[in-house]
Amino acid sequence: MGGVAALARAAGHKVTGCDRNVYPPMSTQLKELGIDIHKGVGADQLSIDPDRVVVGNVMSRGVDVVEAMLNNKHRYTSGPEWLAENVLHDRHVIAVAGTHGKTTTASMLAWMLEDAGLEPGFLIGGIPINFGTSARFGKSQFFVVEADEYDTAFFDKRAKFVHYRPQTLILNNLEFDHADIYKDMDAILWQFHQLLRMVPADGNIINNGADENLQSLFNMGCWTPVQTFGTRNDTDWAARFVDKVERHIGMRSPTGAEAETHWQMGGYHNLGNAMAAVAAAVSVGVEFEHAVDALSRFEGVKRRMERTATITDIAIYDDFAHHPTAIKTTIASMRRRYPGHRVVVAIEPRSNTMKLGVHNDALANSLKDADLIWMYRPDDMAEDFDASLESLGSKLLMHTDYDQLVNDMSKKVLGGDQIVFMSNGGFGSARQALTALLQRMHGS
């Protein structure tokens, strides 16, 4: 929604907004764009009598501002519908969909197109550091959009991505998620099947060749040419690490052409993301070697393994990981990239799916390779949450207060530690508080 607001501002509209909680980096970006954001969702937010209300999917019936909007007969629409009607209708839309890696893949792809001089538009659920903004109109026919399967709005329960009608579609992976919206994997597959139905026969689908759920999706029907990508050698597009610390990567195209580069990222998950982005970039005219080389200048995404501070030899990262698969792959990558260093995790289970207990069986296993784990425990976790983590033993330190968690961390972190804060929210500013505390303790 922040990105939609930025696009509406770029189109010349006066834009304001409200939300229950507003925090960086999005709040900072919107402020810099001159967009006033108000905390709270009271009916008074509509006192300005807006020409159009764009409703985010976190709003529901019973919320004061929603009830006032309906009672006063304001014109309203959803974020995806506004985007489709005002931005995407005459563009070559490149959509990035799947459970994991959408933000990073879309950011890489937008950067490859930019680096090739194509000046794309984009709407991404994070802030690519190369651009410093999550959205822009762009000056070419190409528009990169992060295509989320979450529902559209309280009045439109279809997945958001059905509004985007892409010409080029990346499918990174598919797992069960959003348990507050979908009852099972079949329900998610059905929504993705609606997306496949909208990709034209002269379009392109770039698919993770190792994902079994995606194969089940294609068995439901597909009318568009498909190319596969992966980190094995049995896909159309293949990527590999050339070194052991994941700094040097190599890629192969379907024609057999090969290219290598060094990059700032890491992890097999990001290697797959990069391969998908390269394949999509090439499909719209970027030279293969140029697309791969652009990765050497890609600076990452805020809150996606973003290194936010280094205090003496202690490194602190901010990461959006909140699904067991993402947590596990992130820890594994840190282990490979920093051999001999402790990997320390602070995690806030905040997603609705996590709170419902859907991931209880997998969460402990995803965290087991960390050396120490600080867990902030919200009050509304499922009853069996604590019991599901017992296998982590003494390496798990549970807290119900952010300040106590930070204070405990400050006493136990050691020189050389790689500290990763994992949350899809603000984490009570715990990362910033620990950074400031360690800086005082270490005199830096």
| φ/ψ (deg, to 5) at 408 | -65, -40
Residue closest to 113 by CA, chosen among 299, 285, 252: 285
Instruction: Give CATH superfamily name and number for 82-297.
Output: Mur-like, catalytic domain (3.40.1190.10)
Locate the domains of the chain by residue range: 2-74, 82-297, 306-442
CATH of region 306-442, choose from 3.90.1150.10, 3.40.640.10, 3.90.190.20, 3.40.50.720: 3.90.190.20
Report pLDDT for 303: 82
Q: What is the pLDDT of residue 424?
A: 83
pLDDT-flagged residues of the chain (< 70): 352-353, 355-359, 444
Taking 3-state DSSP, the helix, strand and coil percentages for the chain, each rounded to the nearest 5, stand at: 35, 25, 40
Kind and range of the H or E run holding 213: helix 212-219
pLDDT of residue 28: 86
Phi, psi at 40, each rounded to 5°: 115, 155
Q: pLDDT tens across 69-92, in order?
A: 999 999 999 999 999 999 999 999
CB atoms inside a 10 Å sphere around CB 70: 12
Tell me if 50 sits within 8 A of 73, measured CB to CB: no
pLDDT given for residue 362 in this prediction: 85
Within 254-312, residue ranges assigned H as helices are 268-283, 288-294
Q: What pLDDT score was predicted for residue 444? A: 59
pLDDT on residue 55: 98
Q: How far apart are CA 281 and CA 206, in angstroms?
A: 11
Distance CA 286, CA 295 (A): 13
Tell me how far apart the alpha carbons of residues 151 and 50 are, in angstroms, rounded to a whole number: 24
Cβ atoms of 276 and 205 within 8 Å: the answer is no
**H or E stretch covering 337:** helix 324-337
Which pTM does this prediction carry? 0.83
- Of 3.30.110.70, 3.40.50.720, 3.30.230.10, 3.60.9.10, the CATH number of 2-74 is 3.40.50.720
Q: CA-to-CA distance for 196 and 211, rounded, in angstroms?
A: 16
Separation of alpha carbons 6 and 33, rounded Å: 7
Residues contacting residue 239 through CB under 8 Å, at least 6 positions apart: 229, 230, 231, 249, 250, 251, 252, 271, 272, 274, 275
Residues 6+ apart with CB under 8 A from 36: 16, 17
- Quote the pLDDT of residue 316: 97
